[in-house]
Structure 1
């Protein structure tokens, strides 16, 4: 009896020591699964730890947890009917620590898998046969984040065959699909052939009535006279996806000769995110987020960017200030979607007076763009949809150049009628030109 009692005592001590050592090498995983559309917790979502035989379902509040998971790097898999498959990578479980995060699922009929890496959504397509007959390139938000883009012009460098340059906004950026470089005057008309669509609204330069004021000096291009739009106006951090059609696009896009670029901006409920990028030439800050209710969602984005053309020269810079506000409403069990968007961008492209410049040159191109769009989609059947879109766009450009003009002696007269007066002989004068 005494031997049995001692054996039981030693066994309890060993189990206690083993349990302590095991617990010291484990951690916990917990989180909340929410719907992107409503922002509320989702019940019954299957959660699985990839590589371990551990699965669970979320409770009515969308919460889940895994206890005593060996320390290491894991991937979480989330599956729910109508939401596809979402994978979160790089889930680090530390010894004696609890990993916690919020996961947002969005309804989707896509067969691809969605990956979340550091808050960035990446979609892996599983399309066996293409649905379109034209040559297209799809760029997701994960690709945009990878290249640290500042504008749509930087994003389009991911297209095969495009020239790759350092991200920045010191020069006008335009797209050239199957065309030559648009910086040459003879080739600038080529940019007219590419249609830019932002949230189904065409963005064009057809109404640009500027004249050549000398703002483009051969080395620096500040305005887009007789060519396409300046892609620096469209901030990259608010773009969800970009589709480039290099083949023959649908007739719905119209007004094109060389392809179409379809841009979709972020909308609906999204987590709040502040991002700041900086290097010696470029500085950019972006803040975006969204609120979600049962049948409504509000999304916003604020962007500020500044780019120096030459860090050795003061007063030669490009500045962009922009914002976008989206309001979405849903009716009849989300068969009707009504989305309203307000967009505003302010541009300051300046060359201030430089010390030692004998021509005392000053240049500026200040402009703003305001756009409103409303779109109504009604899914009246499984394969039928009615869409209505209305948009209004306002552009204002103000160009200015001042410099000293030197030439041979000339005569300047102020007379408005024939006659004789004392002449004014000048060899140089200050020229100021505004185009509004």
Structure 2
């Protein structure tokens, strides 16, 4: 259980009031119009609602005293204000567009205004100004972040509170412990098995990924996460809320765009990357909700003079949002499609190693999440998340292995002894059988591999990730103490239903000559059980008022 305490010093009564008002926006003619679907909330009390088609909102059972009020809408500058409440109030707000016409735009991560110095917020305008290509690029906006040329030539994993992000044994562990949460659901790397068996490398090195993808020993490859459909990002560098669960290094919380948005078409180029993208959001009619659509394509060349090495990414996102039950329930349902291809074609000038590789990722994610503003007694809101993803990864690698001379047996059966002719037994001078194999090894033999040969192997990986979570927010003002309590539970299941590693048994992958126990052991990923995790959590944040001046 995580308990946080602050100590404001002005007594507060239990009297409850009602706040009402209208949220406006300016149209193209600078005329005020009511704004529908604006999110109005009081975070410290877990109270929230959404403005209706007339722009009107109502918040009931609001505790008296100084409260922090937020109004948010896609493409608008958020309003975050402190109000002293002692009676029923009518508060109207006017929101303005967030674009390059603003006089002041923050282009770095800003500390969370709740006072948590370990939490940083990155806005849409900051991402637009830096022209980020992937989620990895925005990390340079963090305090202490290092600016560098954008490049997607290799797997990109997020490391928090670490200077070096790509070297040393601690880098993969840091990335593995960093949670990436999009629309309330974690993006999991638990089912990633796209690596050669560590025993091939004598068990001393970190399992290397195939064809440039993310290593199973680290975090998610965030090259596949485009920033074009992201509204804001919160990065927690310290200890986050218990509801974020499985992490050790911090959390990256992604909020994607939902609601009305003007059509935008963008294109950019730098020495390595070409990218085009589009996006728009429109309302479907009265009480029919809104649909947000976005897509992008990026092409990365590792080196302009080595065009045979390149990475491609194409993404599409559809997000439907609506409110129900008199604006008490707000839901978002989305479909994400991702295509990625990391390829190293054979260099025409490479006649010695003839190295070539390819890693292709095709997958989709379905997500639905929502917040039900109940506001009955202690219970204020109920939030839920349901998410499922499927990723089909097909990879191959081929090269001419040199200095590969070693004894090699095709069998994967324990205790089997083969001869150098398939299916043929060998006997000693006394007629005793030396070889030992069954029907499964009838076509296998043992050889002494040549010094060099062209090896080719493939990995068929099909990752399945399921996630579900429900969280209730409770708030109670009692005397001088305010309690905001989170109670929830989550379930996740990660597994792989691919065929695994396959290769021609006569030309096996290279193994370390220094590892006496290194071997070739293909295994069907379907035979590996899914990882199922269930968690429950409780978090209490209380505020205790003591006589004196307000903190």
Which residue in 2 is equivalent to 1:146?
129
Please give the root-mean-square deviation of Cα atoms over the aligned residues, in Å: 3.8
- Distance in 2, matches of 1:84 and 1:166, equals 36
- Distance in 1, matches of 2:189 and 2:75, equals 38
Q: CA distance change for structure 1 residues 206 and 185 in 2, over 3 Å: closer, same or farther?
A: farther
Which residue in 1 is equivalent to 2:403?
407
Structure 2: which 5+ residue stretches go unaligned?
A: 1-27, 39-53, 56-68, 83-94, 409-419, 428-444, 461-551
Q: Give per-residue Cα distances to partners, 1:1-60, cap 9 Å, x unaligned.
A: xxxxxxxxxxxxxxxxxxxxxxxxxxxx94566666479xxxxxxxxxxxxxxxxxxxxx
What displacement does 1:122 show?
7.9
Deviates more, 1:331-340 or 1:250-259: 331-340
**Quick check: 2:297–2:315 contact (8 Å CA) kept in 1?**
yes
What displacement does 1:274 show?
0.7
What displacement does 1:373 show?
1.0
Which residue in 2 is equivalent to 1:367?
361
Which residue in 1 is equivalent to 2:325?
332
- Distance in 2, matches of 1:85 and 1:390, equals 24
- Distance in 2, matches of 1:180 and 1:414, equals 55
Which residue in 1 is equivalent to 2:247?
256
**Quick check: 1:134–1:245 contact (8 Å CA) kept in 2?**
no
Q: Give per-residue Cα distances to partners, 1:316-358, cap 9 Å, x unaligned.
A: 1010011110011212332211211111111100000101112
Which residue in 2 is equivalent to 1:272?
263
Are 1:398 and 2:394 matched, yes or no?
yes
Q: CA distance change for structure 1 residues 211 and 332 in 2, over 3 Å: closer, same or farther?
A: same
Which residue in 1 is equivalent to 2:425?
418
Which residue in 2 is equivalent to 1:428?
452
- Distance in 1, matches of 2:448 and 2:229, equals 58
- Distance in 1, matches of 2:103 and 2:183, equals 19
- Distance in 1, matches of 2:188 and 2:37, equals 35
Q: CA distance change for structure 1 residues 235 and 205 in 2, over 3 Å: closer, same or farther?
A: same
What displacement does 1:186 show?
1.4
1:241 match: secondary structure: strand
Are 1:238 and 2:229 matched, yes or no?
yes
**Quick check: 1:307–1:317 contact (8 Å CA) kept in 2?**
yes
1:329 match: secondary structure: strand
**Quick check: 1:411–1:426 contact (8 Å CA) kept in 2?**
no
Q: Give per-residue Cα distances to partners, 1:238-275, cap 9 Å, x unaligned.
A: 11111111111000001111111111111111111111
Which residue in 2 is equivalent to 1:294?
286
Q: CA distance change for structure 1 residues 410 and 338 in 2, over 3 Å: closer, same or farther?
A: closer
Of residues 138, 145, 170, the one that matches 1:162 is 145
- Distance in 1, matches of 2:103 and 2:338, equals 26
Alignment of 1:351-390 (within 5 A): 351-357=344-350, 358-381=352-375, 384-390=380-386
- Distance in 2, matches of 1:327 and 1:428, equals 56
What displacement does 1:416 show?
3.1
**Quick check: 1:244–1:262 contact (8 Å CA) kept in 2?**
yes
Q: CA distance change for structure 1 residues 371 and 132 in 2, over 3 Å: closer, same or farther?
A: farther
Which residue in 1 is equivalent to 2:80?
110
1:398 match: secondary structure: strand
Q: CA distance change for structure 1 residues 392 and 308 in 2, over 3 Å: closer, same or farther?
A: same
**Quick check: 1:37–1:269 contact (8 Å CA) kept in 2?**
no
2:393 match: secondary structure: strand
- Distance in 1, matches of 2:224 and 2:112, equals 35
- Distance in 2, matches of 1:33 and 1:251, equals 42
What displacement does 1:414 show?
4.6
Q: Give per-residue Cα distances to partners, 1:366-425, cap 9 Å, x unaligned.
A: 11231111113111229811112111111222221011112266688452333499x998
**Quick check: 1:120–1:141 contact (8 Å CA) kept in 2?**
no
2:347 match: secondary structure: coil
2:425 match: secondary structure: coil
What displacement does 1:180 show?
5.2
Q: CA distance change for structure 1 residues 351 and 216 in 2, over 3 Å: closer, same or farther?
A: farther
**Quick check: 1:284–1:306 contact (8 Å CA) kept in 2?**
yes
Deviates more, 1:388-397 or 1:295-304: 388-397
Q: CA distance change for structure 1 residues 36 and 340 in 2, over 3 Å: closer, same or farther?
A: farther
- Distance in 2, matches of 1:259 and 1:329, equals 31
- Distance in 2, matches of 1:129 and 1:434, equals 46
Q: CA distance change for structure 1 residues 264 and 150 in 2, over 3 Å: closer, same or farther?
A: same
Alignment of 1:12-91 (within 5 A): 30-31=29-30, 37=36
**Quick check: 1:216–1:222 contact (8 Å CA) kept in 2?**
no
TM norm structure 2: 0.56
Structure 1: which 5+ residue stretches go unaligned?
A: 1-28, 40-60, 63-81, 87-103
Deviates more, 1:424-433 or 1:372-381: 424-433
Which residue in 2 is equivalent to 1:11?
none
Deviates more, 1:362-371 or 1:305-314: 362-371
Q: CA distance change for structure 1 residues 35 and 270 in 2, over 3 Å: closer, same or farther?
A: farther
What displacement does 1:216 show?
9.6
Q: CA distance change for structure 1 residues 31 and 320 in 2, over 3 Å: closer, same or farther?
A: same
- Distance in 2, matches of 1:179 and 1:311, equals 30
**Quick check: 1:377–1:387 contact (8 Å CA) kept in 2?**
yes
Which residue in 2 is equivalent to 1:184?
167
Q: CA distance change for structure 1 residues 418 and 180 in 2, over 3 Å: closer, same or farther?
A: farther
Computing the radius of gyration over CA atoms, which structure comes out larger, 1 or 2? 1
What displacement does 1:121 show?
11
What displacement does 1:192 show?
0.9
